[in-house]
Chains A and B, each alone.
Chain A
């Protein structure tokens, strides 16, 4: 039973977890106050799990047939009882039918075998206490048991509200005992919560740790030794000023957009090929890289988040001042054209599959609510009816999605038009370029002729969307089948998610409605948009979100650990003109962010998962940061943005192409992110497959990662370059070792480390008769250490 499990976990944090059995579990504020914590705990630990496990199968609204018309899944159902009278008479166990049944007295329940005596005793005790029941007071209207289908249709209104759909509150800055501690109002929320648990935040991170953390978080790169020394000395003079200065510097560097743009590309399921279409075909998206560059620029220019979303959803409909700006808006709509599409062959639902992806990326990516289930049926847990799905679908069926030629393989997807850019330069393929990867006839295996594209060679193109000539509302696809059509649903938004101006937003029947969708999503009072983004930003700075399921703010997602802090930050985000840089700046300047990742045993014990943020979280460098850091230390990093993509002239099936990847010294964000064929330099470290929204990457520890560090060609090459520059720089082995430590780890080696390093050099040199190899081995070792790969 999940509830039991969750409750036992939550010794310190009674309100954080819980709530897993659908809407029935959400408890209104009023109910919370009428039941004591002990009664609540007793019910959740002893009573509810038994009801769920042994009774709900027949006595709940979800039962196939409700036994004896008795519902035990709501408080009212239990009190009013079924055919044989009330199940519970508060205070009187002997008169309560449920107790009689459990004792096999007259009725025998559960029918298979009686419950253990201890369980029955729990129920007796519970009834004696007055059967306190924290569940919602309203029985769920259900066509099966309650007369009137209308009641069932209205059930939305009876559901206790999902927290994330409630309007944001304006939480007051909490009072705290330790008034001197906070550097930013957000600190007070964290501190108040810690104080209420009788805990104190750990000590501050030392400046050497902090500077590495700031570089990793804001740039995804390590600082140089000079950066560290300068910061440490400034920090000693004026801590606040020193941190501000370095943060402002980092936020202004172009590497910031590369780092944070990459986070967004995960959300946007950015990929440079379609991914396996289910028939083993994987056509490239030769122009997708333009969207990557658009995102990086947007983060660097701090495009307000509401504007950023509007451009991606409806850029083609926005007025522009220049051809370059118009290009930029068209490219932004690539966000909606990245679908990993299932094959078109024999798939009558293909068009709706594309729409499903668009709804999913808008729902999960921007709102943290999965709307996808409603394609076939009303969402089982979240308040998303099928009608909402098709209201949104109408917007996207009125939109033409342009992914391009799909390698001219009609069985995977029909070729589409593309945006033709006006200001972007024409780039021709190299003079000697001949496409060698040819699509084969599926019957004969003979290569097909490559059709001549309609655009002159080198025309700058972009994937994206535009309105169809004749926009129209969409009909419900019964059970998600495009051939079984139901009623027409007017285009619209998610009804459960209300903003003040929702009703005022009308969709012009001559347009798709994307512009209004963007307008609706970016209403200042939209309950989800700001919360979801603020949580994503927090997650990337702390390693876990305030809501630890960043892509699921629904009933099955987790509840925020600090709901008021989340609203506080979301309010600030919106008030500060949706500025991402501003929010990041505020967070990293806070005391909370600057805490050490070490903590006392007391804190570790009380809050093992660090939900209370009494310390910072130690984090492993992600795949991109690890590669970039290696390049930085080896001296080979090319900080210039890469120009385009290695596949920009190649409209081919990747599944036939083998490995297209080429080595490069540009930052990892510019590698070629082919779905199902990821860059081998990144693949070992939990890079997702980019077919769906990824708000948070996995962090696994497997021997395959060790093998990557030992044997991957990229790592070996960086070690060699690193070694080369050490050998050029100094003549004395001890000095060189010191230099290598400073370069890789930003510190001096201690005597033991120095001795061991020298020993490694000497023994390897004598074995392999090569200084160079010995130095490469030591340099590779430094790049492999946990100290290099983890950020405190």
Chain B
């Protein structure tokens, strides 16, 4: 790793938390007036400045989206049941269910050798987000905000749309300023979900500022008498961020200023009905908000659609899931590209695992969970375009080449953001923690353009 701790500490203005960037460095650096959100220069050459994670919860069926497994020999084996076609100059194979995304085939960097530790939804979903299956740990977006701060001091560095329980977007033991801000939790209507209480006119902002100054004076004195309680410091910081959000967020959340054509291309508000497992999530509005947040300098944005957990009615429900996400994703890619944002925005698509294939013509329409081999794709942010990395065996059952574990994916994302994945650490409860866990993650350099 080509950096020294001294250089690192010089190049960054660590918040009141700490960037322990060296296995030996465990001291918590306390400094700064910025409260931890100020932009920090990445240690490594950064290829991406922000991430949009398209979280496909429930475990998307890789064999019917991006990992084509045709019938080959005499014996029928589990494989793809939908048709695939090659797209673009790269000839990337993409399922017939994703015609709009397929138009961006030459921008995608498909990872077909993903694997994870468990086929239990909640655990794998947590591991995908935090690296840990069991305990509350900082989420990927929190680690990135911690490492880099945010480009817009008036917004959180990490926003999570259509999310579920708070452990998914939690900063855990990292300072709470790096916690994700949810927009829509537990199935809230995503056509209206907003940042609640983001404004009120009972006092002008100037009076509110003086009021908050008084509160913070009280809070700081209170904190001083209670040493060793970082939670209290976190509250102080998050009050400041909340205050600043009042001036920016309302406009950002108002998509009525977008053109009709844009709203149409994202299919905003067009999904009216659920189909089986496929829930109404106004994925179009989510993607459009993601673009607006990305433009405004939010570091990590997660949008979510589910559930891809179609055990029964595989064909019908998978088709529905693809249909409602396909056009919004394509619109997002096109929009970012047109605005010149795709180059430094890393798009990540995937879920907590994949699914085993169906055996065609045996009448079965059911799948289960498969954490041994599945697909993610990346786009923008310094990754290869029109590229496929790794593969699964002929039935898609397990990754056999170019295997990428969640911790490797995490390492790769951090590296693309300019953060040394295995050295981004935080001291907590008697030891150092990092996103990539005790084993560390391998950066998959083959993915980089």
Q: Which of A667-713 contact B (CB under 8 A)?
A: 676, 680, 683-684, 686, 689, 698, 700-713
Let me know if A701 and B235 touch, CB within 8 A: yes
Q: Who on chain B is nearest to A678 by CB?
A: B186
Q: Is A8 an interface residue (CB 8 A)?
A: yes
Which residue in chain B gives the minimum CB-CB distance to A275?
B187
Say yes or no: is A104 at the interface (Cβ < 8 Å to chain B): no
Are A704 and B231 in contact, CB atoms less than 8 angstroms apart? Answer: no
Provide the bound-state CA to CA distance between A338 and B143, in Å: 38
Say if the beta carbon of A790 comes within 8 Å of chain B: yes
Instruction: For the complex, count residues of A whose C-beta is within 8 A of B.
Output: 70
- Nearest residue, chain B, Cβ from A774: B207
Complex Cα gap A405–B208 (Å): 48
The 3 closest A-B pairs by CB, nearest first: A706-B242, A701-B176, A703-B242
Supply 24 A–B pairs (Cβ within 8 Å), ascending by A: A8-B431, A9-B429, A12-B430, A49-B438, A280-B279, A556-B134, A655-B189, A686-B166, A700-B176, A701-B231, A701-B234, A703-B239, A704-B196, A705-B242, A706-B241, A711-B197, A716-B200, A716-B202, A753-B221, A773-B207, A777-B203, A786-B236, A787-B218, A790-B232
- Contact B198 A711, beta carbon cutoff 8 Å: yes
Cβ-defined contact, A710 with B222, below 8 A: no
Interface string of B164-207 (1 = CB under 8 A from A): 01110010000010011110011111000001111110111011
* Interface stretch of the complex, out of B9-17, B209-217, B417-425: B209-217
Query: Which of B133, B239, B277 counts the most A-chain CB atoms under 10 A from its CB?
Result: B239
Question: Are B166 and A1 in contact, with the CB atoms below 8 A?
Answer: no
Complex Cα distance, B171 from A698, in Å, reads 12
Among B206, B243, B428, B438, max chain A CB count under 10 A is at: B438
Min CB distance, B22 to chain A, in Å?
Answer: 18
A698 CB to nearest B CB, Å: 5
Taking a contact as CB atoms under 8 Å apart, the answer to whether B166 and A698 are in contact is: yes
**In the bound complex, what is the Cα–Cα distance between A535 and B242 (angstroms)?**
36
Q: Is B270 an interface residue (CB 8 A)?
A: no
Q: Does B439 contact A (CB under 8 A)?
A: yes
Residue interface mask A353-391, B partner, CB < 8 A = 1: 000000000000000000000000000000000000000
B185 surroundings in chain A (CB, below 8 A): 689
CA distance A604 to B274 in the complex (A): 51
Query: Is A497 in contact with chain B by the CB < 8 A criterion?
Result: no
Evaluate whether A20 and B203 lie within 8 angstroms (CB atoms) in the complex, with A701-B231, A703-B242 already known.
no
Which of A620, A706, A753, A763 has the largest number of chain B CB atoms within 10 A? A706
- Is there an interface contact between B215 and A785, defined as CB atoms closer than 8 Å? yes
A763 to B199 alpha-carbon distance, docked (Å): 22
B195 touches A786 (CB 8 A): no
Q: Which residues of A contact B208 (CB under 8 A)?
A: 710
**What's the minimum C-beta distance from B4 to chain A, rounded to whole angstroms?**
25
Q: Is A760 in contact with B211, judged by CB distance below 8 angstroms? A: yes
Tell me which residues across on chain B come within 8 A of A129, comparing CB atoms. Answer: none
* Cross-interface CB contact of B226 among A276, A618, A683, cutoff 8 Å: A618
Binding site for B on A (CB under 8 A): 1-2, 4-5, 8-9, 11-12, 20, 49, 53, 275-276, 278-280, 346, 556, 597-599, 601, 604, 608-609, 618, 620, 655, 676, 680, 683-684, 686, 689, 698, 700-713, 716, 753, 756-757, 760, 763-764, 767-768, 773, 776-778, 780-781, 784-787, 790, 792
* Known contacts A20-B134, A785-B222; A767 and B238 CB within 8 A of each other: no
Identify 10 new A-B residue pairs, CB closer than 8 A, beyond the known A618-B226, A704-B195, A760-B213: A9-B430, A556-B134, A704-B181, A707-B195, A708-B196, A768-B203, A781-B212, A785-B219, A786-B218, A786-B235
**Closest CB in chain B relative to A694 CB, distance in Å:** 10
Contact A278 B228, beta carbon cutoff 8 Å: no
The complex places the Cα of A231 from the Cα of B199 at a distance, in Å, of 41
Q: Which residues of A contact B81 (CB under 8 A)?
A: none
Most buried by A among B197, B200, B437: B197
Does B29 sit within 8 A of A, measured CB to CB?
A: no
Given contacts A278-B277, A767-B207, A781-B211, contact A5 B196 (CB under 8 A): no
Q: Which of B176, B218, B246 contacts A785 (CB 8 A)?
A: B218
A767 with B197, Cβ < 8 A, contacts A756-B217, A786-B232 known:
no
User: Which of chain B's residues has its CB closest to A5's CB?
Assistant: B438
Q: Are A707 and B245 in contact (CB under 8 A)?
A: yes
Q: How far is the CA of A787 from the CA of B239 in the complex (A)?
A: 14
Could you say which residues of chain A place their CB within 8 Å of the CB of B212? 710, 781
Please, which residues of chain B bring their CB within 8 A of the CB of A597? Answer: 226
Asked if B438 and A4 sit within 8 Å, CB to CB, the answer is yes
State whether A689 touches B186 (Cβ < 8 A).
yes
A153 to B438, CA, bound (A): 36
List, in ascending order, chain A residues with CB within 8 A of B188's CB: 676
Which residue of the partner chain, among B133, B176, B204, contacts A702 with CB atoms under 8 Å?
B176
Q: Contact check: which of A11, A598, A698, A781 meets B165 at CB < 8 Å? A: A698
Whether A713 pairs with B200 at a CB distance below 8 angstroms is: yes
The answer to whether A787 touches B222 (Cβ under 8 A) is yes
**Among the listed B134, B226, B228, B428, which residue makes an inter-chain contact with A601, where contact means beta carbons less than 8 Å apart?**
B228
B306 to chain A, nearest CB (A): 11
Please tell me if the beta carbons of B214 and A711 are within 8 angstroms of each other in the complex: no
Q: Do the beta carbons of B203 and A773 come within 8 Å of each other?
A: yes
Given contacts A20-B134, A686-B166, contact A701 B179 (CB under 8 A): yes
B258 at the interface (CB under 8 A from A): no
Most chain-B Cβ atoms within 10 A of its Cβ — which of A655, A703, A756?
A703
B437 and chain A: residue at smallest CB distance: A5
> In the assembly, what is the distance between CA of A713 and CA of B203, in Å?
12
Which of chain B's residues have a CB closer than 8 A to the CB of A11? 430
Tell me if B280 counts as interface (CB < 8 A to partner A).
yes
Residue ID in chain A nearest B200 by CB atoms: A711
- Produce 1/0 per residue, B219-254, CB < 8 A to A: 101110011110110111011011101100000000
Q: Which residues of A contact B234 (CB under 8 A)?
A: 701
Q: Report the Cα distance A768→B438, complex, angstroms.
A: 57
Q: Tell me which residues across on chain A come within 8 A of B206, comparing CB atoms.
A: 767
Indicate which residue in A686, A764, A785 contacts B210 across the interface (CB closer than 8 Å): A764
Known: A707-B246, A756-B214. A598 touches B239 (CB 8 A): no
Contacts of B165 in A (CB 8 A): 698
Q: Are B197 and A760 in contact (CB under 8 A)?
A: no
Give the distance in Å from the alpha carbon of A228 to the alpha carbon of B320 in the complex.
61
How far apart are the CA atoms of A20 and B204 in the complex, in Å? 54
Q: When A785-B219, A787-B218 are in contact, do A704 and B197 touch as well, CB less than 8 Å?
A: yes
Residues in chain A near residue B211, CB distance under 8 A: 760, 764, 777-778, 780-781
- CB neighbours (8 Å) of B186 from chain A are 676, 689
> Are the C-beta atoms of B274 and A698 separated by less than 8 Å?
no
Closest to A783 in B: B215
Within B142-156, the residues touching A (CB, 8 Å) are 156
Query: Once the chains bind, are A280 and B232 in contact (CB under 8 Å)?
Result: no
Question: Given A701-B235, A706-B242, A781-B211, A683–B179 Cβ distance below 8 Å?
Answer: no
B215 and A278 contact, CB distance less than 8 A: no
Contacts of B218 in A (CB 8 A): 753, 781, 785-787
Q: Which residue of A lies closest to B433 (CB)?
A: A5
Within the complex, the shortest CB–CB distance from B287 to chain A, in Å, comes to 20
CA distance A676 to B279 in the complex (A): 14
Q: Which residue of B lies closest to A45 (CB)?
A: B438
> Which residue of B202, B207, B238, B429 has the most chain A CB atoms within 10 A of its CB atom?
B202
Question: What is the 8 Å Cβ interface bit string for chain B, positions 60-89, against chain A (1 contact, 0 not)?
Answer: 000000000000000000000000000000
Closest B residue by C-beta to A601: B228
Chain B residues, CB < 8 A from A346: 276
Question: In the assembled complex, how far is the CB of residue A788 from the closest CB belonging to chain B, in whole angstroms?
Answer: 9
In the complex, the chain A residue whose C-beta lies closest to that of B236 is: A786
Most buried by B among A275, A716, A763, A785: A785
B214: chain A residues at CB < 8 Å are: 756-757, 760, 778, 781
Residues of the B chain whose Cβ atoms lie less than 8 Å from the Cβ of A684: 196-197
Which partner residue on chain A sits nearest B239 by CB separation?
Answer: A706
Residues in A neighbouring B238, C-beta threshold 8 A:
701-703, 705-706
B223 partner residues in chain A, CB cutoff 8 A: 786
Query: Taking the nearest CB of chain A, how far is it from the CB of B62, in angstroms?
Result: 19
- Contact residues in B for A756 (Cβ distance below 8 Å): 214, 217
